[in-house]
Amino acid sequence: MIKFPFTSILGWSSSRYDIFSSCKRKYFYAYYAKFDKELSLDKINNLKKLTSVALEIGNITHDIIRDILIRLQKNDKPINESKLDAYIDKLTQDYCSSKQFFEVYYKQISSIPIEHIRETTSSSIKNFIKSERFDWIRARSNKSDWIIEPAGYGETRINELKAYCKVDFLLLDGDKSYIFDWKTGKKDLTKHRKQLLGYSLFAQNNLGFKKEHITPMVVYLKDNYEEITFENEENEIENFYNIVLSETQEMYNFLENIEQNTPKSKNEFPMIEKTGLCGYCEYKELCGR
């Protein structure tokens, strides 16, 4: 796997641009808090660390699926459901007890709904392990070649631009590679298709796979097991290059120094007009909302 030397320059990612496009002030707090001359870095970072019920359901689900796949690399025997239930319960308790929740911090709820988180997480995981795809994964012989949530941030290059596209799971089968992206929230094919294009380019640029041999798929786990596979079309890749270039340049426009990734002053990152989005923003108290 190709690794790139450290540079300070901004790196595009789908999630980074989503924050940038939603609210420039939120983007400043999320990526440039140390440059704030008014507020303490500790205060901003404590808000940044807030989790949410939906986020923790996703975190726990991803981590347990990761652990299941790592186990399968060593032992493909059937999963003991009682042991799995105990593990889900333990991780849910551990994660919920060690983090501060957005909903509790902002007094939307009085306590963490641990049982809801556990039940929803358990349902998503069992939708996966009871699927035909899970049986197909278990039957693969070259498990040592699996890439399961690789270390780092998935740094790659998209038309020479720095980008981050970290895959959840990549499996080789003959000369083909399959990329899986687990989702526990709402279906958003436009947003998720964009992420999968990035993962496909990661597989090409960092691993040397041919684009015609890459099958990226988004897997929705919340209500049942549903996977949606996208074909990599040549004109779509070219369009994606242009999108990444355009979005990167938009973010560059808010920098004093592009090479050093130094932002302009916070005042150059305006708050959006108060909308429903503010109600879900971890930094809303900093804006008086």
pLDDT (tens digit per residue) in 229-272: 987 676 788 889 999 999 999 999 999 999 999 999 999 999 99
Q: Is 2 among the domain residues? A: no
Q: Is 129 among the domain residues? A: yes
Here the CATH number for the domain that contains residue 45 is 3.90.320
pLDDT (tens digit per residue) in 37-70: 999 999 999 999 999 999 999 999 999 999 999 9
CA dist., res. 148 & res. 10, Å (int): 26
pLDDT (tens digit per residue) in 75-99: 888 999 999 999 999 999 999 999 9
Model confidence at 217: pLDDT above 80: yes
Q: Is 156 among the domain residues? A: yes
Cβ atoms of 215 and 179 closer than 8 Å:
yes
257: exposed, middle or buried (C-beta count within 10 Å: 0-12, 13-18, 19+)? exposed
Q: How many domains does the chain have?
A: 1
Label each residue of 221-249 as H, E or C.
Answer: CCCCCEEEECCCCHHHHHHHHHHHHHHHH
Q: Is 201 among the domain residues? A: yes
Q: Is 9 among the domain residues? A: no
Q: Is 289 among the domain residues? A: no
Q: Is 197 among the domain residues? A: yes
Percent of the chain at pLDDT above 70?
99
Domain span holding position 24? 14-267+277-284
Using DSSP's 3-state secondary structure scheme, residue 110 falls into: coil
Quote the pLDDT of residue 232.
66
Cβ atoms of 13 and 165 closer than 8 Å:
yes
pTM assigned to the model = 0.93
Mean pLDDT, the chain, rounded, equals: 94
Mean pLDDT score, 131-135: 97
Q: Is 80 among the domain residues? A: yes
Write down the H helix ranges in 7-74: 14-22, 24-31, 41-48, 53-74
